[in-house]
Amino acid sequence: MRVAFGLKARTGRAVLVAIGGDLGAPQFVERAELKLLPEGAFAPYHAAEKLEPAAAQKSVRRDVAAAHRLAAKGLGDAARRLARAGHDVVGCAALVGPPLPDWSTAEIIAVHVRMHQAEGVLFREVLVAGAKACQLALTTLPEKTALDAAAVALGVTRAQLDAKIAALGKQAGAPWGKDQKEAAAAALVTLK
């Protein structure tokens, strides 16, 4: 069966939802959580907040590199797992947001809200980079309007999309919250 991944970044992790089939009769295949930071690591800019500037820069660089490795590994593992199960992984959709201004690590750490903003951008960007590293066809959707953007991309009404996502949620069982719904909508766009 043709399968696509939908990805929604969270701090230090991502929700992956795999949907198969086609828009007419989509099927829930799997959901997983991808770790984007090593065990025991914390949000990179927050973790560096009290460090000296050089140490903060080094800490952030280390965590960003780890996030890139973990995203590529998690997506690669998921793609291989589904391929072994006989599925054809046709692509991946990631929810993205606006880019970060060209701030230095010191400028980010100096303002608390910037740390949250930078970490949000970081985890979304590592998912995009991970999909590319795994050579998965990549689609992006704006995170802030994910469901509306998916409906437009699919050429369906929001009510029709919501019904498809609700049906997928019944197939999947709990948990099926906002993150899983948005990831599923993104996956549907890739299956189109």
Q: Which domains does the chain have, with CATH numbers?
A: 2-191 (3.30.420.10)
Q: In what order do the strands lie in the sheet with 13-20?
A: 27-35, 13-20, 2-10, 88-96, 138-142
Ordered per-residue pLDDT tens for the chain, 192 residues: 999 999 999 999 999 999 999 888 999 999 999 999 999 888 999 999 999 999 999 999 999 999 999 999 999 999 999 999 999 999 999 999 999 999 999 999 999 999 999 999 999 999 999 999 999 999 999 999 999 999 999 999 999 999 999 999 999 999 999 999 999 999 999 998
Using DSSP's 3-state secondary structure scheme, residue 89 falls into strand
Which helix (H) or strand (E) element contains residue 181? helix 178-191
Task: Name the packing angle between helices 146-154 and 158-172 (round to 10°).
Answer: 110
CA 64 to the chain's CA centroid: 15
Pair 47, 38: CB distance under 8 Å: no
Cβ atoms of 23 and 8 within 8 Å: the answer is no
